[in-house]
Structure formats: structure tokens, C-alpha cells
A and B are shown apart, each in its own frame.
Chain A
């Protein structure tokens, strides 16, 4: 892999300047139809700078292959929605980005840093990649404000007051400043998920990963979480989101990755996906989803 400019790290190996990388698949250039009849283009990116670069990523659980040669680029400011039927590997794919799931083949670069390389300081990398989980996973033994500050203080080494200030600011941003002293069990699902988003944002990440953030929520609470995510997208946060909420996708996504059985079938801009998704599997999926 040639990089025109390496990622800049300060003496503590903290990422201060992301790498500028040459564009893999020419902008607006190489579009092609892959083996599944799916559309792979490079349109719809929000910028030229690549934040997440996955190349031919494959993963096996024992003998069972869960990901096969997955290639995808997420540029700065992109909102990439990863969708597909259950078991297609979407959650597994997104978990490989920050190394929560290891992979056996291929390469993933986040801001120029290789996720799979043995030398990589994974905790440091992960501190700059925010992740929101399906079941919120707030720390139940800590109060809301403690949830927001614990990683800032212990991982990013911020001072208590700075962490608290930042935590409260993001808590206010998601509309929950009144809950700062409460405990997660006292909050509703939608509120907990919004706190989880604030917790990830407090780390000032370079990108945010969402793993089915609304799938465990009661219907009346889905909108409040989606509103926060739409707000984030509109501010230009780089987001990679596994979700079934195609309404959200059609509103703010810049690109769609459609997966089936461990393969990336469609990988194109939002408009291209909704208007001209070619593969049979994508068309089946769309017809089922959009019907209700």
C-alpha cells in the first residue's frame, strides 16, 4: 500500500493528523457490476479523504466463513448505512473496524493505522473510534455523568473538570442534562441510547460506528435516537451505521453497503442504491423493507 502522506503521530503515538490517502477506486470513475449483479461505485462521498479503508477482509469462525473479501471505503463526512438480511455479517463487519472482532485476511486502515497489525496500539485506536451498541451497554454501576467521564479521564487522561464539562455539554446536546446524576436503570431505552451516543461523542472520535442502535428500542423511542443521529450526520460526522431504518438511510445516508451472507453485494451511493440496485438479493430486500 502506498500512502502519499503518513498519518502524523505525536511522541505518545496519539493521532494528531490523519493520513491523506490516494483514492482507491477513482472518484466518479470506476463503477462496475460485481459477481452478484450488484452495483459498486465510488459516487456520493462527502470528501476525498478516506477515514476507513477495508480491503478484501475475510473472517472465519472455525470453518465457517462469515465475511468474504469485503472491500469498502468510508470518506470523511460520509454517512454509510450497512444493511442486509439477518446473518449477512453486517454487525461482524462493523466490529472488525475497531478490532472488537479479529479477522484473518485482508486489511483495515483507520486514518492510516492498520487495525490488524500486531504492533498497533488497539486501545489507543479505539479511543478515537466511537461505537454505539444495540443494547446500549451503559455501565450500570456508574451514574450517567460518571459513564460519560470515566473513559475520558482514564483513557484520554483528561482532568476531572474538563471531562465533566465535556460530558455535560454532550449530554445537553442529546437533550438529557437533567439526568446527569441518575443511574442507567432509571432511564428508558431511548434515553439510555442517547446517553450511549453522548458517551461515545465525549471521546471526540474521528468517526462513529453504530451497530443496530434502534433495534432494541420500542417504536415510540426510535425517533428520538434517530433525530440525534441525523443531527450528527448533518454536522459532518463520519458515520458507519448498521441499521434496518431505511427511512433514516434515505434521509441522511451518503452511501449504502448492502450485504448478504458475508459478501458485500452493493456498495454505492444512496441514490444509486434506491434507484438502480441491480442484484436480485438487494431488490428482494428492498421490496420487503419498503413495503411497511
Chain B
């Protein structure tokens, strides 16, 4: 019997997979910026763009990060329900603004804080729903 309980470990895994996914987007964006020259008008332009992008170390870093995310995400899914894992992964909507505040010194508007709080309460509800099920099983 597979236990489907949400532990702190899995939660940490989820946060880590979120961070990794953000990092992937960052790498892909970086490699795309390297390749961006004139507007892409023809298929030859697309090929040229891809060639330059593939020469960028950021692209390979991004692909490696995709692989790592897949491994971590699969491990998570072997432990908990899909309908729990996916909502909790929305944590990145909270992480990204927090990182922007701390490292980029961006200002976050009142409305955005409210949105973050709503997401956080949603994540807490989903976490609780997983515990609820566990207690029913026992």
C-alpha cells in the first residue's frame, strides 16, 4: 500500500522543484537573448537563431535543469496525489515576488500582497486536505 501523506520533506522537494523551474526559465530566457538579433522572418532565421541559442551554455544549463526537475517531480508524484502536488507547486507565484523583493529590491504593490496571501491560504487548504485524507485512512 502506497502511503500518500504530505510530509515536510515532500514540501521541501516541491519548493526546490519550483526554484529549479524558475531557474530553467531564467536560463532559457538568457540563451534566447544571446540568439536574438534581427527579427525572425524566414525559416533560415529560425535555424540561425537555434544554432546561436544552442551554442549558449545557458541553454545546456537550462536543459540539465529540466532533467533534474523531471526527476524531482517524478519522485514527488510517487508520494502524493496529482491534485495536491500541482496546486502546491503554485508556490512559485509567491517565491518569485519574494526573490524580487530581496535580491532586486523591487517594490510590491498592496494588491499583489493581497494576491500572494490568497495563494498562500489556498496552498494551506490543499495541504490540509491531504492531511484530512491521511487521518481518514488511519
| B partners with A | no
What residues of chain A have their CB less than 8 Å away from a CB belonging to chain B? none
